[in-house]
Every structure is written in C-alpha cells, then in structure tokens.
C-alpha cells in the first residue's frame, strides 16, 4: 500500500512546536529570535521563496526582516551588509537568498556569514561539521528530508540502499552524507552516470533532486521504495510538478512525497528550527 508523505503536515507540527516556544518567550518578556533574509535583485522565484519564509516567520511569531537590495548592488556593499548582520546582537540567523546576480561572488558572500548565524547551513564550516557527524546547522532541505524519513520510522538505515539523483552542494551531496550518517549504503547519481535507471532501481530510498519535470517514471523505481521528490518545476502547462512522475509511480512505492506540499514546506520549517537553535546557543540556553 502506498502512502503520500505530506511534508506540509510534518512541517506544521514542527512550526506548532516552535510557536509554543516563542509564545513562552514572549510571556517571559525575553528577546525573540530573529531571522534576516537578504535578497539582491528581483528574481521572481527568489521573491516567492523569500515571501514564503517571511510568512512562515510571521505565522509562528518569529522576528524577521527582509533586506531587499537592488540588482546593481556591489560585492563590497553586500559584504558590508553581511558584516553588519554578523555583528548585530539581535540577529540569530542570516540567509542570503541564492542565486545572486551574476556579477556577485556567491562563494565569498557565503564564507563571510558568521557560521554561528548560518542557519542555511551552507558555510564550509557547517558542511565540515556535518561530515564529521558533529553538526551545528544542517542544510535545511537535506535536514527536512531526514526528518521526514524519521517520521515514518526510518531512523537507522542499516542494510538499506539509498540512491540520490543529483549532486548539488545544497541538496544532493549533503543529503547523501546525512543518509550515510544514518548507516545507509549510498550511491549518488548525476548527469554522467551510466545505466542510471538500473542504479536508481537499487534504492530502497530514492531521493531525486535534478530539476527536470517528471524525469523519473516507474522504470527507475524499486517496488516498495520510499521516494523523496525534491524537484520544483513547471510542466508544459505551467503546472507545478516534481522530478518524479507521481501518477506513474505512486502505486508501486511504499511512500512518496508530493509536489507541492512535500519537501518544500519542510525546508522552511527546518530554517525556522535552525534559527531557534541559533537563538538558544547565543542565549546560552543549552549551557554550552
């Protein structure tokens, strides 16, 4: 029997928990955690992602600020903004929305963010800590995927084969590492993988992060697999869809995430959770 794994529902539970904590902080008249999102330019997808993050903060009562800079912002202007936020004691989380306009050096900007405020988990310091299984902040989409697997009882993945399609720094590589940390035997595929459908078919867990509408059909799927579809695409009718052909595979899998309402809402919930963690560290609530 197949089940649809609604990230939207799991994310709501996470957000409800955070809201309770925030209500409590307000009651105690404590400082409220704050997330600052920096957006450069007017890329429509980025604008919609940023709006989603703002709405999520408002809904749970987390402080937030959007710094919306013009497209022609220079590298040094953006660096100054990041450095100011690093030093601002009221700011717990800094997120620079990617992609940046082409004239800006993305890597230099990400490196400039204080790793303790890097709630996106993209700073090499945080990536390194993740590799060493000593995480500070996990990148939000991979963290959300692992969280979803845990909710269906997939905590220890010993003896399971996990196949990840896609090797980006923000999804494919980190999710592969997190699956490995959970004892899965992990294979990462990409555009140069030979016999990719055969490789994909080995996956008890198949994570797809490619960015090609409905690329994955039943020929790629092991019967009973858990399928996590990270892709967010528009099809030929401009309809939102994932990388997986949901209708074609849904009856042969054990679990599958839909698009929308799958991985996307989890990414935002994990961003809020990382910001709360940063706050607790900075306020010394953990005593560390």
Supply the minimum distance, in Å, between the C-beta of residue 169 and ligand NAP: 8
Check if the beta carbon of residue 143 is closer than 8 Å to that of residue 275: no
94 vs 189 by CB, closer to ligand NAP: 189
Among 42, 22, 48, which residue's Cα sits nearest to residue 33? Answer: 22
Please confirm, yes or no, whether 102 is among the known catalytic residues.
Answer: no
Task: Let me know if 29 is a catalytic residue.
Answer: no
15, 34, 53, 116: the active-site residue:
53
**Nearest 10 degrees: Cα torsion 241, 118, 163, 266:** -40
Q: Which is nearer to ligand NAP, 192 or 284 (CB)?
A: 192
Specify whether the CB–CB gap between 173 and 142 falls below 8 A: no
In the residue annotation, 97 being an active-site residue is answered as yes
Phi then psi dihedrals of residue 226, to 5 deg: -95, 120
Residues in contact with ligand NAP by CB under 6 A are 141, 165-168, 170-172, 189-192, 196, 209-212, 215, 230-233, 263-264, 267
Beta strands in the chain (DSSP E): 3-4, 34-40, 63-69, 93-96, 161-165, 185-189, 205-208, 226-229, 233-234, 240-241, 255-256
> How far, in Å, CA of 250 to CA of 239, rounded?
19
User: Toward ligand NAP, which CB reaches closer, 116 or 274?
Assistant: 274
Query: Least Å distance between CB 266 and ligand NAP?
Result: 7
Cβ-based nearer residue to ligand NAP, 84 or 197:
197
Which of the following is catalytic: 15, 34, 92, 97?
A: 97
All residues at 6 or more sequence positions from 184 whose CB lies less than 8 Å from its CB, including other chains: 157, 158, 160, 161, 162, 205
Task: Please say which residue, 211 or 280, places its beta carbon nearer to ligand NAP.
Answer: 211
In the complex, the smallest distance separating the C-beta of residue 40 from ligand NAP, rounded to whole angstroms, is: 18
Whose CA is closest to 60, among 269, 274, 228? 269
Catalytic sites, residue numbers: 53, 97, 120
């Amino acid at each position: 029997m197949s089940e649809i794994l609604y990230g939207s529902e799991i994310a709501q539970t996470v957000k409800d928990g955070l809201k309770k904590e925030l209500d409590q902080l307000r009651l105690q008249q404590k400082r409220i955690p704050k997330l600052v999102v920096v957006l450069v330019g007017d890329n429509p997808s980025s604008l919609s992602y940023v709006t989603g993050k703002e709405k999520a903060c408002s809904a749970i009562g987390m402080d937030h600020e959007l710094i919306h800079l013009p497209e022609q912002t220079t590298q040094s202007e953006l660096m100054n903004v990041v450095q100011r936020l690093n030093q601002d004691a009221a700011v717990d989380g800094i997120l620079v929305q990617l992609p940046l306009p082409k004239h800006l050096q993305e890597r230099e900007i990400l490196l400039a963010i204080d790793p303790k405020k890097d709630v996106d988990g993209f700073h090499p310091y945080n990536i390194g800590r993740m590799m060493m299984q000593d995480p500070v902040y996990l990148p939000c989409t991979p963290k959300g995927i692992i969280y979803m697997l845990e909710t269906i009882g997939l905590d220890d993945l010993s003896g399971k084969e996990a196949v990840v399609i896609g090797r980006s720094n923000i999804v494919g590589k980190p999710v592969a590492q997190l699956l490995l940390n959970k004892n899965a035997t992990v294979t990462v595929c990409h555009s140069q993988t030979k016999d990719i459908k055969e490789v994909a078919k080995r996956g008890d867990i198949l994570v797809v992060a490619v960015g090609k509408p409905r690329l994955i059909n039943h020929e790629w799927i092991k019967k009973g697999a858990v399928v996590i579809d990270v892709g967010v695409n528009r099809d030929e009718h401009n309809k939102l869809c994932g990388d997986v052909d949901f209708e074609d595979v849904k009856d042969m899998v054990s679990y599958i995430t839909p698009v929308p309402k799958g991985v996307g809402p989890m990414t935002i919930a994990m961003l809020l959770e990382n910001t709360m963690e940063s706050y607790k560290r900075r306020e010394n609530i953990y005593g560390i």
